[in-house]
Amino acid sequence: DAKTTQPPSMDCAEGRAANLPCNHSTISGNEYVYWYRQIHSQGPQYIIHGLKNNETNEMASLIITEDRKSSTLILPHATLRDTAVYYCIALNNAGNMLTFGGGTRLMVKP
């Protein structure tokens, strides 16, 4: 699976959009981009995933660049409860083993 790179930490003001970047420059054509988050002392929570088209669900939007070398997770209106570590993972859809890197620690501030 392709390696992903994320900034270690980010701050966001409550009510504003949080844009979390992820670099996956070596991603292959059949690898999806998955996003999970882990709130302190809880298990990871699935957020969204996509292959090449932008995706949106009730939690977030996922914007994938045309060359698929990077993506951005967007939380449109961040709340204090969105404070968590966000993980971006590239994974072949036929595979099922997630490898967690360091993620981005998002701090939403009042």
Partner 1 sequence: GAVVSQHPSWVICKSGTSVKIECRSLDFQATTMFWYRQFPKQSLMLMATSNEGSKATYEQGVEKDKFLINHASLTLSTLTVTSAHPEDSSFYICSAYLSGGSKNIQYFGAGTRLSVL
- Strand ranges, E, within 3-96: 9-13, 18-23, 31-38, 45-50, 55-56, 61-64, 70-75, 84-92
State which residue, 13 or 39, has the beta carbon closest to partner 1: 39
Q: What angle do CA 78, 35, 23 make, to 5 degrees?
A: 100
> What are the residues binding partner 1 (CB under 8 A)?
32, 34, 36, 38, 41-46, 49, 51, 87, 93-94, 96-103
For partner 1, the closer CB: 46 or 54:
46
Residue 7 CB, nearest distance to partner 1 (Å)?
Answer: 15
Question: Measured from the CB of residue 84, what is the shortest distance to partner 1 in angstroms?
Answer: 13
The residue (of 12 and 47) whose beta carbon lies closer to partner 1 is 47
Handedness of CA 82, 9, 43, 5 (dihedral sign): positive
